[in-house]
Amino acid sequence: MEKTRRLGNDSFYGQIFRLVLPIIIQNLLSAAVSSADVVMLNYVGQSAISAVSLAAQYASVLFMVFYGLGTGVTILSAQYYGKGDMRAIHVVEGIALRFSIPISAAFAAAALGMPETMMRLFTNDGELIAIGASYLRYMSVAYLCWGVIEVYLATLRSVNRVTVSTVLNILAFSLNILLNAVWIFGLFGAPKLGAMGVALATSLSRLVELGACVVVSLLSRDVHLNLRYLFIRNRPLFSDFVRLSLPALGNDISWSVAFSMYSVILGHLGTDVVAANSFVIVVRNFGTILCFGMASAGGILLGNIIGENRLEEAREGAGKLMKLTVITGAIGGLIILAAMPLVMAYAGESLSEQAMRYLRNMLLINTYYVMGAAVNTTLIAGVFRAGGDSRFGFICDTIDMWGYAVPLGFIAAFVLKLPVMWVYFLLCTDEFVKWPWVIRHYRSGKWLNNITREGLFAEETE
């Protein structure tokens, strides 16, 4: 049969690129929103840029939570889609929503009720706390919508509806950028809200995106955003979701919180490095678009192949994906290098002389840092998870970040009191330290498993 034929080189690469192009567009738009925030806030001032950069770390953590839950959806749904079992996919979506909705509500309540406390975790600067707190209050609505949106989009992507999810993101991101301009510059008679305007734009665009998800669901033949899925009980699938999602969720939370500790460390080293880092984050996001998109597309395609029980083809496909990752990682470094003159020229309008020196050095460090991130993301979040192995990444990243990178950063900054750039350089060794273990696990093949089950709904039909 065509579905089970052996994939040739052209066929695998062709399918990868058909999947990866919409994901790249989606990631590009996401990075464009972040860059638009920085670009527009550059006209407000360095304090606004720094405060939003710090407050946005909570969105980064929440994103990783939903990415972890989405991973559970993708791991199971991609393999069951390869198997042809849509009912199992509906159950998996409902299980993920049972986790994501309460988490969204908790973040929204915290942002609305105690934003000053949230900001004090990152900085002791009173001005940054005040600006960041106003930003977080308006972001609470976005947090509430996000949990539902991300689970539904993960379900769409896992069944190869990548283009649909990309169109929804295009709608939200385009609206976000437009509304940013309206409330930052006071267009069309609107008030100039600064950092609050950025958050308000994000929340309104997320509300619109949620509404668009409902419309897509109503028009879809088989992939719906149906709250009744929340109440479907299937013990084997719930067990599989927890077994696969919790390590992935733990992995992503552990990594993202640890990565946020980098901002805590830098935030206590002065506003100059915080402002410089806000530009670096934007540029690095653009540099990693291609390689992270490759990891996402590869995970979906490998999951479909494994669900069809074509394990040897999946092993070969993983090898091809790694070759593509090395190429895209190198391209990412070149993108950052090529962007440096433009970024330096633009940032010079608002950053201090010291911040500009930090910015140049930090960008240079990131020209090679993206290669480490590309390889690890493709293997841990793409290849391993496609084969049902989310536990290895959790253990590896937790040891690397909390046993090595974060303690090293605190010791370098506050005990040894090393220069700021030495602290940053040491923090950026985290990806390369774990390479030997990650690559060895990949070569072992222990990650390659078909995790689908037979007779999931047999009891209901008896």
Q: What is the rounded radius of gyration, in angstroms, for the C-alpha atoms of the chain?
A: 22
**CA proximity to 270, closest of 442, 25, 54, 112:** 54
Q: Are 158 and 165 in contact (CB under 8 A)?
A: no
C-alpha of 302 from chain center? 20
CA gap 228, 247 in Å, rounded:
26
Give the per-residue pLDDT at 458: 61
In 3-state terms, the chain is what percent helix, strand and coil (to 5)? 85, 0, 15
Q: What is the pLDDT of residues 400-445, one digit of tens each?
A: 999 999 999 999 999 999 999 999 999 999 999 999 999 999 999 9
> 131 CB contacts (<8 Å, ≥6 apart)?
47, 48, 51, 52, 194, 195
Whether residue 217 is predicted with pLDDT greater than 60 in this model: the reply is: yes
CA gap 181, 184 in Å, rounded:
5
Q: What tokens were used for 102?
A: 């309460």
Phi and psi for 419 in degrees, rounded to 5?
Answer: -55, 155
pLDDT band of 7, cuts 50, 70, 90 = very low
CA gap 258, 462 in Å, rounded:
49
Dihedral-angle region of residue 186 (phi above 0 means left; psi in -120 to 50 means alpha; beta otherwise):
left
Handedness of CA 226, 231, 236, 241 (dihedral sign): positive
- Would you say how long the chain is, in residues? 462
C-alpha of 349 from chain center? 30
CA gap 298, 381 in Å, rounded:
10
Range with the largest mean pLDDT of 111-115, 157-161, 220-224: 111-115
Give the per-residue pLDDT at 39: 67
- The pTM for the full model equals 0.77
Question: Angle at Cα 450 formed by Cα 446 and Cα 456, nearest 5°?
Answer: 145
Give the per-residue pLDDT at 395: 95
Q: What tokens were used for 389?
A: 């192995």
The helix (H) or strand (E) run that includes residue 257 is helix 235-267
DSSP class of residue 454 equals S
Give the per-residue pLDDT at 259: 84
Q: What is the pLDDT of residues 164-189, one digit of tens each?
A: 888 888 888 889 889 988 988 888 88
pLDDT band of 5, cuts 50, 70, 90 = very low
The helix (H) or strand (E) run that includes residue 233 is none
Give the per-residue pLDDT at 291: 84
Phi and psi for 460 in degrees, rounded to 5?
Answer: -75, -25
Give the residue-averaged pLDDT of 146-154. 91
pLDDT band of 9, cuts 50, 70, 90 = very low
Q: Which of 1-15, 81-95, 268-282, 295-309 has the lowest mean pLDDT?
A: 1-15
CA gap 135, 47 in Å, rounded:
13
Largest CA distance in the chain: 74
CA gap 45, 38 in Å, rounded:
10
Strands (E), 78-222: none
Q: What tokens were used for 340?
A: 């440096």
Q: What tokens were used for 408?
A: 């090293």
**Site of tokens 């805590």:** 264
CA gap 297, 113 in Å, rounded:
38
